[in-house]
Amino acid sequence: MRTANTLRYTLGGLGILMIGTGAWLVAAEPEPAGVLLWLAGALVLHDGVFAPLVLAVGLLLVGERYRGVLRGALITAGGLVLVTLPLLVRPGEPPNPSALPLPYGRNLAIVLVVVAAVAGVSILVRRGRDARQRGAEDG
Amino acid sequence: MDAMTLRPRLRRPAALSAFCPPTFTGRLHDARTATAVGRWLGAAFAVCFATGLVSHYLQHPPDWLADHLPPRPVWGYRLTQGLHVATGLAAIVLLLVKLWTVYPRLFVWPPVRSWRHALERLSVAVLVASAVFQVLTGLLNIAEWYPWPFSFVPVHFAVAWIVTGSIMLHVAVKAPEIRAHWGRGSEGTLTLPAEDALDRRSLLIGTGAAVGAVTLTTVGQSFTALKALDLLAPRHPDHGPQGLPVNRTAAAAGISARSLRTWRLEVTGPRPYTLTLDALGELPRAAARLPIACVEGWSVEAGWEGVPVRDLVERAGGRPGRDGVRVTSLETTGTYRIMDMGAEYVDDPLSLLALTLNGRALSLDHGFPARIIAPNRPGVLQTKWVHRLEVL
């Protein structure tokens, strides 16, 4: 237990040292206030905007029979939209023809249709299995 | 039994009761779910930090390290930087699920119980801010989008220390809880409602599916075998002049065919010399299959032919294996116009001043008339439009 505690305090102490190193590197930047603003902005964006939106969507799923599948499909679709969004909404032309060369809107739509199809098939399979189980119990 | 009935009834001072913190009756906002997702997230950030350090020190080595950086394995940087970006993209999903799990703790009441509690909450705020900041700036960087008032590279590097340190501190603070919820049969896990186990499993499978989908549709930009599935990555191995992407075009670097008309290669050292393109082309050549691996994560292997850098250095009276080389590009501006190559790289027979790409003369965008291509190096150091080598 003592070794575990030593390890724990060493890890925490090392963590504080690394935070200090990073803070010192930020302070050495020509525009540290801009970095702080963006750090605070990231916190507010997540805690004040993104998380409440996700929770609101989660409320829609309460009581759904195949909630797990729907939730998995929504997390997957959400993740795919998030990583593609900057490519879609980025202002201005890409810096050269080999950067951002793909039709991202179309590709995202294709991938989302595949996600929906996989979720749909998965629900149908579960529904069939549940019906058979009920049939077996009734018979 | 839901969280509403579990909440102890506290008599609050009148001033505080004006603000009523929200209550969360949904499931899975528990320590077992946080531990299960958190360890994957921790692993992802650890990979990002380690590969990020590799990239940083390959690009900006301290003096004592510069001559000892290893040019092998040839695919080393391709692997570490491909992992850096792929893991960072996966971390977006993991981070958001992890934060969803622990979100109700933002509204604990009373907000501060003690000094220790206040410090812990402050450290979590630093962790959340730096983690969201880090994946967000990384994501926008690979989209070549820079909406912020600071320079990306040094700030992403600085915040990497803050987020990694915060995670280590967080793990240290939460160690007893993590241990108690590490496995499905751990003591803490067993005190949670048993009926949540299936739901938790389904959430973890859903999260895994999301990570898999994001990875499969983007990793083809670095792992060419999966390029058919590269639908959502900022780069594609097949898109670019001569079938190879570029980061900076000749036009962007201020290079035109006209500006190259009087091109000569100047090599300085104990026995300096100058070569025309024809004379350079007549020197003995070597061929190499090497990847261009960009700091932004994409990478593609190609066939190159050119004069080994060590031959050029030797001819100038330099000592391969002991001397480094300073390479200068014709581009008028840019952070990487001047590039230093350590002794180990200079000595490697695969480090070339390349003249051809996939059997054809370099195109202007790929650095005509001559460019550096060396193994295990970030793409920004594969200097294009080379016109001077200085033996150091």
- Global confidence as pTM: 0.94
Residue of B nearest to A90 (CA): B145
If you average pLDDT over residues A29-45, what whole number do you get? 97
Q: Answer whether B297 touches A (CB < 8 Å).
A: no
User: What is residue B302's three-state secondary structure?
Assistant: strand
Q: Are residues A84 and A48 in the same domain?
A: no
Q: Answer whether B46 touches A (CB < 8 Å).
A: no
- In this prediction, residue B374 has a pLDDT band, given cuts at 50, 70 and 90, of very high
Q: Are residues A75 and A136 in the same domain?
A: yes
Interface of B with A in 301-360 (CB under 8 A): none
Between chains, do A19 and B232 touch, taking CB under 8 Å as contact? no
Please tell me the distance from the alpha carbon of residue A136 to that of residue A134, in angstroms, as a whole number. Answer: 5
Shortest distance between the Cα of A43 and any Cα of chain B, in A, equals 5
User: Percent of chain B at pLDDT above 90?
Assistant: 90
- B236 contacts on A by Cβ (under 8 Å): 101-102
Residue of A nearest to B160 (CA): A22
Q: Are residues A71 and A95 in the same domain?
A: yes
If you average pLDDT over residues B359-371, what whole number do you get? 96
- B241 contacts on A by Cβ (under 8 Å): 97-98
Task: Please report the pLDDT score of residue B333 as a whole number.
Answer: 83
| Identity of the residue numbered B291 | P
Q: Are residues A46 and A85 in the same domain?
A: no
Edge-to-edge strands of the sheet including B273-275?
Answer: B273-275, B265-268, B386-391, B325-329, B338-341
Mutate to test the interface with A, among B217, B248, B295 (most CBs of A within 10 A): B217
Residue of A nearest to B85 (CA): A83
Q: Greater confidence, B305 or B20?
A: B305
Q: Are residues A73 and A138 in the same domain?
A: yes
The domain in which residue A47 lies consists of 32-61
Between chains, do B92 and A78 touch, taking CB under 8 Å as contact? no
Mutate to test the interface with A, among B28, B136, B205 (most CBs of A within 10 A): B136
**Could you tell me which of A41, A16, A21, A42 has the C-alpha nearest to residue B159?**
A21
B232 within 8 A of A108, measured Cβ to Cβ: yes
B293 within 8 A of B77, measured Cβ to Cβ: yes
User: Percent of chain B at pLDDT above 70?
Assistant: 95
Closest partner CB to A35 (pick from B140, B150, B233): B150
DSSP secondary structure code for residue B363 in this structure: P
Helix B31-59 to helix B76-102 angle (10° resolution) is 150
- A71 contacts on B by Cβ (under 8 Å): 202-203, 206
**Interface pTM (ipTM) of the complex?**
0.96
Q: Answer whether B111 touches A (CB < 8 Å).
A: no
Structure tokens at A125: 């399979």
- In this prediction, residue B295 has a pLDDT band, given cuts at 50, 70 and 90, of very high
Between chains, do A75 and B206 touch, taking CB under 8 Å as contact? yes
Q: Are residues A97 and A127 in the same domain?
A: yes
**Could you tell me which of B168, B7, B32 has the C-alpha nearest to residue B101?**
B32
* Number of domain units in chain A: 3
**pLDDT tens per residue, range B44-86:** 999 999 999 999 999 999 999 999 999 999 999 999 999 999 9
Shortest distance between the Cα of A2 and any Cα of chain B, in A, equals 13
- In this prediction, residue A136 has a pLDDT band, given cuts at 50, 70 and 90, of confident
B226 within 8 A of B218, measured Cβ to Cβ: no
Q: Which residues of A107-138 are buried (b: 16+ CB within 10 A; e: fewer)?
A: bbeebbeebeebbeebbeeeeeeeeeeeeeee
- How many other C-beta atoms can be found within 10 angstroms of the C-beta atom of residue B283? 15
**Which domains are present in chain B?**
18-229 (1.20.950), 241-391 (3.90.420.10)
B265-268 and B386-391 as β-strands: parallel, antiparallel, unpaired?
A: parallel
Q: Are residues A5 and A44 in the same domain?
A: no
Average pLDDT over all residues of chain A: 94
- Counting every residue written for chain A, the total comes to 139
Four-residue CA torsion sign, B93, A76, B195, B103:
positive
**Could you tell me which of B212, B91, B106 has the C-alpha nearest to residue B163?**
B91
**pLDDT tens per residue, range B76-119:** 999 999 999 999 999 999 999 999 999 999 999 999 999 999 99
Average pLDDT over all residues of chain B: 93
CB proximity list for B213: less than 8 A, separation 6 or greater: A76, A79, A80, A111, A115
Q: Are residues A105 and A118 in the same domain?
A: yes
**pLDDT tens per residue, range B129-151:** 999 999 999 999 999 999 999 99
Q: Answer whether B207 touches A (CB < 8 Å).
A: yes
If you average pLDDT over residues A96-100, what whole number do you get? 92
Q: Which residues of B300-326 are buried (b: 16+ CB within 10 A; e: fewer)?
A: bbbebbbbbbbbbbbebebebeebbbe
Interface of B with A in 62-91 (CB under 8 A): 89
Q: Are residues A105 and A139 in the same domain?
A: yes
